[in-house]
């Protein structure tokens, strides 16, 4: 009995999938494949012309700046929605105010 239930569920799922995303005809699949290969070739051609490679440290620094900006904006919007002023914060580095290590945000109320 369990096998019949699974077969019905599988058939129903396949039917729903066929309605949501019908299979493309062969000509359309071939056209999309050629288009994707053209895009890949173009990307490889452009990549060959690039001579400067950014160091992972530069990339990490930029990503950190983007993340800080994102979270600062998110906190600002959240505080505006709640009608509160953001808490005063300071950056602590491994529990100390100075040093070269990972920094994390410490709530100014503690």
Are 85 and 79 in contact, with CB atoms under 8 Å apart? yes
Contacting residues for 90 by C-beta, under 8 A, at least 6 apart: 106, 108
| Chain Cα centroid distance, residue 61 | 17
- 22 has a pLDDT exceeding 80: no
pLDDT band at 43 (very low <50, low <70, confident <90, very high): confident
pLDDT band at 51 (very low <50, low <70, confident <90, very high): low
| 5: its two tokens | 């239930």
Global pTM reads: 0.31
């Amino acid at each position: 009995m369990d096998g019949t239930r699974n077969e019905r569920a599988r058939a129903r799922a396949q039917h729903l999938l066929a309605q949501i995303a019908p299979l493309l005809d062969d000509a359309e699949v071939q056209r999309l494949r050629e288009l994707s290969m053209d895009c890949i070739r173009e990307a490889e051609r452009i990549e060959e012309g690039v001579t400067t490679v950014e160091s992972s440290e530069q990339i990490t620094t930029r990503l950190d700046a983007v993340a800080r900006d994102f979270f600062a904006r998110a906190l600002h919007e959240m505080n505006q929605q709640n009608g509160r002023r953001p808490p005063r914060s300071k950056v602590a580095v491994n529990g100390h105010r100075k040093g070269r290590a990972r920094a994390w945000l410490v709530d100014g109320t503690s």
